[in-house]
């Protein structure tokens, strides 16, 4: 609906009373009779302040005179407008007083309460706001306040700051009592309290919220007492958390840099270096005026300035870590190598707040590095030397391993083959690769020669792995890949690690197939020889025995012939007869000696203790004829006893002594000397003469039967004596030999068993 123009007839017809009643502003009609009529808005308002409905109760006393003047003017027909103070608000009201029907019409227009506007405004910004009376009762609160404090507006209104329900704390966690709240402080001091941090307990979230509280006291101008206090607060819980974290990080960072460096400094985000820099000053001796801006560069070694500045500018430009090394001049003028690092420190919004940098003295590190380098160089030298040595040894051992005719295995502590040389592989028919990594025993040493399984416990190689003792095995078998046994001899040598602990073994194996064959052949040969010796002795015995009979016949007839016809034939015949008798005699002695030799057998020997002295007295009797004849001599010094058969030993010594007497130098008397001494289990007997001697090449031969060095005409004999001597000596378990120099005499040596003590 469009209202008609005020001057129009249509407007005149409008019901004025209805219009006044609908107006939201208070309107009062003052009749000429003093009667006051109020519209609905005025009635409602007046009722709040005056029980009697007195219109003037709406106005402050100070405004009353002006209102009275205006009414008087209206009654005179003038319309007046006056500014008035209204009781329930600080905002000024505009009162229009106009003449009407003999009276006056009063229209009050009140501006909106600025507090209400403020409450709404704050609400829009998310800030809580309350208005408290001087007794701290809450008169007004916006929705944000209710939200932040965790209660409804109705719950908030009427509460005061001392209400025990409030739970508030300072940032350090200590209690924040009601009488010290910013609003109360503002009321008491009439000073604005700005951005006071305060933690309040949020009953719904059951957690603390952090507020930043500003309280503004309001007082009536000129009055000393406050009228109200307006409190505005922001919820800074999230910001607070971030700041706490930031502060924590920064504290940690700072303590870190302090702990690890000598100089800590800071700079503005734009790289500007400004005092105070206490540690920088202390180290460099620069004054603030000297280092300010880029003056610090002057303390850097001239050669390091350019790259230092370039790096610093780059870091500042990119907001990146600054890291450089340079020499920094100490207060005493000495340049010290420094490791420099700086980092940009950002605030909670990610904005660069400052640079924090450190200078760390590198001289100690440098010295350590230098020492380390020297040490490394020396070590490297030693390693190289060692490597060369090793290479040489390795080459050598590889060569040895490869070239060795013997099989060589390396075993680890468990008996697994770690290496094998070609000879080992060849010997056992495996490839080297096949042997390495295999338990050696299982592969090639699993059974004995007779087919019994070879238990690991009885294997000498494994015994060495266990006890670290070297072992030599002369006869064993290892098994060829093709299943046959290879007869082997081997030596197991333990190996040790750097700590000297047994780590395995090296086995050197020899294939003894050939050796065994040779031994077997030798054995066969010996047996053959012994057999043919026996045959020969048998033959000698039989032959000499059987020869005796015809010889006896020849001897008898020769003797008969001589007895009967000697001197009856011519002289030549007599000489022939003599030759025949001589030959028969010699033949007889030869056969007897041969028979004696053949009869000598080990089995018949009975050994008893015999004194050499006793034997030599017998020998002296045997050779008495020779001794008496030509002034020869026999002496002896034989204190020992021997184990032997006396008759054979007498024969032995008689042979040696009579040879010594027989083979004397022409025209010189023979002297034979016999001595003895004990040597261990044997008695060493020497028979020495001063005779013709024997050339070395005959020393062996003279012990064989029938071997003689002279014509019978020169020295009689049949060449059986020394052969018999040797046989007797050897049957006694002794040995016979000689040393001799031709023309100077001979010494025959023999050993015979001593009497066991
Ligand atoms: P024979 O009956 O010839 O003495 P032997 O067997 O006793 O036989 O000695 C063999 C040879 O050894 C002798 O013929 C002699 O040439 C040499 N012979 C043995 N004993 C001596 C000795 N004491 N001095 C020099 N030659 C010796």
Give the tokens for residue 492: 């197991």
CA distance 221 to 227: 10
Position 249 confidence tier, pLDDT thresholds 50, 70, 90: low
* 453-487 pLDDT, tens digit each: 999 999 999 999 999 899 999 999 999 999 999 99
Residue 446: per-residue pLDDT = 92
Highest mean pLDDT among 76-85, 297-306, 488-497: 297-306
49, 58 contact by CB (below 8 A): yes
Position 8 confidence tier, pLDDT thresholds 50, 70, 90: low
Query: CA separation (Å) from 699 to 373, 660, 689, 694?
Result: 78, 15, 16, 7
Give the tokens for residue 582: 């001589």
Share of the chain above pLDDT 70, in %: 91
Mean pLDDT of 276-302: 90
Mean pLDDT of 716-732: 89
Q: Does residue 660 have its Cβ closer than 6 Å to ligand 1?
A: yes
Mean pLDDT of 240-257: 60
Residue 305: per-residue pLDDT = 94
Q: Does residue 745 have its Cβ closer than 6 Å to ligand 1?
A: no
Ligand 1 atom 19 nearest Cα: 659
Q: Does residue 670 have its Cβ closer than 6 Å to ligand 1?
A: no
* 293-314 pLDDT, tens digit each: 889 999 999 999 999 999 999 9
* Most ligand 1 atoms within 8 A of CB, residue of 722, 728, 740, 745 to mutate: 722
Highest mean pLDDT among 332-336, 363-367, 385-389, 695-699: 695-699
Burial annotation 138-153 (CB, 10 A radius, 16+ → b, else e): bebbbbbbbbbbbbee
Position 543 confidence tier, pLDDT thresholds 50, 70, 90: confident
Q: Does residue 123 have its Cβ closer than 6 Å to ligand 1?
A: no
Position 225 confidence tier, pLDDT thresholds 50, 70, 90: confident
Ligand 1 atom 14 nearest Cα: 708
Residue 686: per-residue pLDDT = 97
Structure letter (DSSP) for residue 449: T
Beta strand segments in 372-513, E: 407-412, 417-420, 471-479, 485-496, 502-511
Q: Does residue 590 have its Cβ closer than 6 Å to ligand 1?
A: no
User: Which residues make Cβ contacts (< 8 Å) with residue 489, sequence separation at least 6?
Assistant: 472, 473, 474, 475, 476, 509, 510, 512, 515
Residue 348: per-residue pLDDT = 67
Between the CA of 660 and the centroid of ligand 1 the distance, in Å, is 8
Between the CA of 553 and the centroid of ligand 1 the distance, in Å, is 31
Between the CA of 715 and the centroid of ligand 1 the distance, in Å, is 9
- The three-class DSSP label of residue 334 is coil
For residue 258, is pLDDT > 50?
no
Ligand 1 atom 20 nearest Cα: 659
* Side-chain half-sphere CA neighbours of 513 within 13 A: 9
For the chain, first and last CA: distance in Å?
A: 164
* 651-702 pLDDT, tens digit each: 999 999 999 999 999 889 999 999 999 999 999 999 999 999 999 999 989 9
Integer-rounded Cα Rg, in Å, for the chain is: 72
Report CA torsion sign: 686, 689, 690, 691.
negative
Burial class (CB in 10 A: 0-12, 13-18, 19+), 251: exposed
Residue 302: per-residue pLDDT = 95
Between the CA of 721 and the centroid of ligand 1 the distance, in Å, is 8
For residue 730, is pLDDT > 50?
yes
- Chain-centroid distance of CA 86 in Å reads 92
For residue 499, is pLDDT > 90?
no
Give the tokens for residue 254: 């700072």
Q: What are phi and psi of 748, to 5 degrees?
A: -95, 130
CA distance 661 to 319: 127
Beta strand segments in 156-310, E: 168-169, 193-202, 207-219, 226-235, 263-267
In what order do the strands lie in the sheet containing 417-420? 417-420, 407-412, 502-511, 485-496, 471-479
Length of the chain: 757
Mean pLDDT of 260-286: 82
Mutual angle of helices 571-599 and 513-565, in 10-degree steps: 150
* 544-579 pLDDT, tens digit each: 778 888 888 888 998 898 888 888 888 888 888 888
Position 384 confidence tier, pLDDT thresholds 50, 70, 90: confident
* Most ligand 1 atoms within 8 A of CB, residue of 592, 663, 671 to mutate: 663
Q: Does residue 692 have its Cβ closer than 6 Å to ligand 1?
A: yes
Q: What region, left, alpha or beta, does residue 370 occupy, with left being phi > 0 and alpha being psi -120 to 50 degrees?
A: alpha
Between the CA of 719 and the centroid of ligand 1 the distance, in Å, is 7
Q: Which atom of ligand 1 is nearest to the CA of 691?
A: 24
* 109-143 pLDDT, tens digit each: 876 666 776 777 777 778 888 889 889 999 888 88
| Higher per-residue pLDDT: 32 or 690 | 690
Between the CA of 651 and the centroid of ligand 1 the distance, in Å, is 15
Does pTM surpass 0.85? no
Q: Which of 439, 494, 491 is nearest to 464 (CA)?
A: 494
Between the CA of 582 and the centroid of ligand 1 the distance, in Å, is 21
Position 60 confidence tier, pLDDT thresholds 50, 70, 90: confident
Q: Does residue 690 have its Cβ closer than 6 Å to ligand 1?
A: no
685, 612 contact by CB (below 8 A): yes
User: How high does pLDDT run on average in the chain?
Assistant: 85
- The three-class DSSP label of residue 438 is coil
* 429-442 pLDDT, tens digit each: 999 889 888 999 99
Q: Does residue 699 have its Cβ closer than 6 Å to ligand 1?
A: no
Between the CA of 702 and the centroid of ligand 1 the distance, in Å, is 7
What DSSP element (H or E) covers 384?
A: helix 363-403
> Cis bond leading into 276, ω under 30°?
yes
Residue 112: per-residue pLDDT = 63
Share of the chain above pLDDT 90, in %: 30
Q: Does residue 719 have its Cβ closer than 6 Å to ligand 1?
A: yes
User: Alpha-carbon dihedral of residues 586, 588, 593, 596, nearest 10 degrees?
Assistant: 180
Between the CA of 543 and the centroid of ligand 1 the distance, in Å, is 25
CA distance 542 to 530: 18
């Amino acid at each position: 609906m469009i209202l008609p123009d005020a001057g129009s007839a249509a407007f005149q017809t409008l019901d004025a009373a209805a219009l006044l009643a609908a107006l939201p502003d208070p309107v009062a009609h003052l009749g000429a009779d003093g009667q006051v009529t109020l519209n609905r808005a005025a009635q409602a308002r007046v009722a709040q302040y005056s029980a009697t409905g007195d219109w003037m109760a709406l106005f402050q006393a100070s405004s009353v005179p002006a209102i009275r003047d205006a009414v008087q003017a209206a009654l005179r027909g003038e319309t007046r407008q006056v500014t008035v103070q209204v009781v329930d608000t600080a905002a000024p009201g505009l009162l229009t007083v106009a003449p009407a029907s003999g009276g006056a019409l009063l229209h009050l227009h009140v501006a909106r309460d600025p507090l209400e506007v403020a409450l709404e405004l704050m609400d829009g910004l998310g800030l809580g706001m309350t208005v408290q009376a001087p007794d701290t009762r809450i008169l007004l609160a916006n929705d944000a306040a209710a939200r932040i404090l965790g209660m409804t507006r109705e719950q908030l209104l009427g509460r005061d700051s001392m209400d025990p329900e409030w739970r508030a704390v300072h940032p350090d966690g200590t209690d924040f009592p009601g009488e010290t709240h910013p609003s109360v402080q503002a009321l008491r001091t009439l000073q604005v309290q700005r951005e006071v941090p305060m933690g309040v307990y949020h009953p719904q979230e059951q957690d603390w919220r952090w507020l930043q509280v500003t309280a503004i006291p309001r007082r009536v101008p000129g009055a000393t007492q406050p009228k109200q206090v307006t409190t505005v607060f922001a919820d800074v819980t999230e910001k607070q958390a971030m700041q706490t974290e930031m502060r924590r990080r920064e504290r940690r960072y700072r303590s870190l840099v302090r702990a690890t460096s000598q100089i800590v400094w800071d700079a503005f985000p734009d790289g500007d270096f400004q005092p105070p820099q206490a540690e920088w000053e202390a180290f460099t001796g620069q004054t603030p005026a000297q280092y300010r801006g880029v003056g610090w560069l002057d303390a850097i070694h001239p050669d390091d300035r350019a790259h230092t500045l370039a790096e610093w500018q780059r870091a500042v430009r990119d907001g990146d870590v600054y890291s450089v090394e340079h020499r920094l001049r100490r207060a005493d003028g000495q340049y010290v190598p420094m490791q420099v690092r700086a980092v940009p420190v950002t605030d909670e919004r990610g904005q660069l707040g400052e640079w924090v940098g450190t200078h760390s003295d590198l001289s100690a590190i440098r010295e350590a590095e230098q020492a380390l380098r020297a040490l490394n160089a020396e070590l490297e030298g030693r390693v190289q030397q060692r490597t060369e040595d090793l290479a040489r040894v390795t080459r050598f051992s590889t060569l040895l391993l490869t070239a060795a005719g013997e099989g060589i295995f390396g075993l680890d502590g468990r008996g697994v083959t770690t290496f094998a040389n070609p000879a080992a592989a060849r010997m056992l028919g495996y490839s080297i690769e096949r042997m390495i990594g295999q338990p050696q025993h299982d592969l090639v040493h699993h059974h004995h020669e007779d087919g019994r399984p070879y238990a690991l416990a009885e294997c000498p190689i494994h015994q060495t792995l266990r006890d670290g003792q070297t072992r030599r095995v002369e006869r064993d078998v290892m098994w060829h890949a093709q299943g046959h046994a290879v007869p082997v001899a081997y030596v197991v040598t333990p190996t040790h690690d750097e700590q000297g602990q047994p780590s395995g073994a090296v086995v050197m194996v020899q294939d003894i197939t050939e050796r065994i064959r040779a031994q077997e052949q030798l054995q066969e040969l010996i047996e053959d020889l012994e057999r043919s010796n026996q045959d020969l002795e048998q033959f000698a015995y039989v032959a000499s025995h059987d020869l005796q009979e015809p010889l006896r016949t020849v001897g008898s007839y020769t003797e008969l012939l001589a007895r009967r016809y000697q001197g009856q034939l011519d002289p030549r015949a007599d000489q022939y007869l003599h030759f025949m008798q001589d030959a028969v005699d010699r033949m007889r002695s030869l056969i007897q000696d041969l028979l004696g030799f053949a009869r000598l057998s080990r089995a018949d020997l009975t050994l008893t203790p015999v004194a050499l002295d006793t034997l030599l007295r017998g020998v002296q009797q045997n050779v008495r004829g020779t001794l008496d004849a030509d002034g020869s001599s026999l002496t002896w010094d034989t204190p020992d006893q021997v184990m032997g058969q006396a008759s054979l030993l007498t024969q032995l010594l008689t042979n040696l002594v009579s040879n010594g007497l027989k083979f004397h130098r022409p025209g010189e008397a023979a002297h034979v000397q016999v001595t003895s001494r004990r040597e261990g289990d044997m008695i060493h007997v020497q028979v020495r003469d001063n005779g013709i001697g024997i050339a070395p090449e005959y020393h062996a031969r003279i012990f064989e039967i029938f071997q003689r060095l002279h014509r019978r005409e020169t020295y009689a004999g049949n060449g059986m004596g020394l052969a018999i001597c040797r046989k007797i000596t050897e049957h006694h378990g002794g040995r016979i030999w000689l040393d001799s120099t031709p023309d100077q005499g001979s010494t025959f040596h023999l050993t015979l068993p001593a009497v066991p003590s």
